[in-house]
Amino acid sequence: MITTSVQVQRTSTILRPDQSRVLLRPFRPETPERASRIIARVMSLPESQVGPLLDDVSAEFSQRHQQIRKSFLERFEQVRDLVLTDVEISEERKLLIGAYFLCEFSLESAALFNPSIVPHTNQSDLPPGALRFILSLRANWE
């Protein structure tokens, strides 16, 4: 077995997350049964807990998304058929259900976790053992 050592030169470049650069997208559970279980858990909460939970989620999301309550309600309307009850659902509970069916997506994060690296076509004027490369950070969107 042949082993080779690689010399690495660190640079001052530091990649830092920017939480303001995230997108909302629908959370789609793998099966209707899982979606039903999520809704059942939210429906089983006492009404006295729904408001405070919604306030916590809204406070977290509203720092990054405008009109987050509108997004929660729109998402609830998209999953309404999965709610198996004839009981009137409070506005807050609808918003909380909608929140459970949204998630955030970071394009930069996806790019960092799906890198591509290839040797550069120009390897001239490099010291022995050095390699010039191209690093591509890309993202996939569903």
What six digits make up the tokens of 20?
């303001």
What six digits make up the tokens of 14?
């530091």
What's the mean per-residue pLDDT of the chain?
86
CB atoms within 10 A of CB 109: 15
Task: State pTM to two decimals.
Answer: 0.68
Q: Match 């939210």 to its residue by tokens.
A: 42
When pLDDT is cut at 50, 70 and 90, the band that residue 113 belongs to is low
Q: Cβ distance 57 to 75 under 8 Å? A: no
What digits encode the pLDDT tens for the residues 47-82? 999 999 999 999 999 888 889 999 999 999 999 999
Over the chain, what HEC string results?
CCCCCCCCCCCCCCCCCCCCCCEEEECCCCCHHHHHHHHHHHHHCCHHHHHHHHHHHHHHHHCCCCCHHHHHHHHHHHHHHHCCCCCCCCHHHHHHHHHHCEEEECHHHHHHCCCEEEECCCCCCCCCCCCCEEEECCCCCC
When pLDDT is cut at 50, 70 and 90, the band that residue 85 belongs to is confident
* Amino acid identity for residue 9 in this structure: Q
Q: Find the mean pLDDT for residues 91-103.
A: 97
Say yes or no to pLDDT of 7 above 90: no
Could you tell me which of 32, 23, 30, 46 has the C-alpha nearest to residue 96?
46
Q: What angle do CA 68, 100, 54 make, to 5 degrees?
A: 55
* Amino acid identity for residue 42 in this structure: V
Q: Which residue would you say has higher pLDDT here, 115 or 122?
A: 122
Say yes or no to pLDDT of 14 above 80: no
Residue boundaries of the structural domains of the chain: 24-104, 106-142
